[in-house]
Amino acid sequence: MSAEPQSPAGPGAEVRPYSEGRRVGYGLLWTAWTVVLAIGGFFQLGHGSVAGGLLCLALSALAGRYAWRIWTWQAKRLIFFIVY
């Protein structure tokens, strides 16, 4: 007999750090932030605000990277971020 504990799904099953529903919800949230920041960045660049436009595009890149990590199960923790 082996002394190793096995997961209920079997020895080859992966254990996910969060549920599929939470992943989809947070993935959509962070994808929306990416789109909003990218649109805002290009809008500001088009209206002459270079510093604000570049900041929005940089934040968009960071949000997009995190959204990609969520969609591909690479994010270890999910972060809820919303501003009213």
Provide the pLDDT for residue 77.
87
| Residue 27 vs residue 83, higher pLDDT | 27
Q: What is the pLDDT of residue 9?
A: 58
d(CA 30, CA 59): 11
Question: What is the C-alpha separation between 7 and 25, in angstroms, rounded?
Answer: 26
Return the structure tokens found at 75. 């994010």
* Predicted pLDDT of residue 66: 95
- HSE, CB side, 13 Å, CA atoms: give it for residue 74: 7
Please tell me which residue, 8 or 63, carries the higher pLDDT value. 63
| C-alpha span between 55 and 23 (Å, rounded) | 27
Digit-coded pLDDT (tens) for 8-58: 555 666 777 788 899 999 999 999 999 999 999 999 999 999 999 999 999
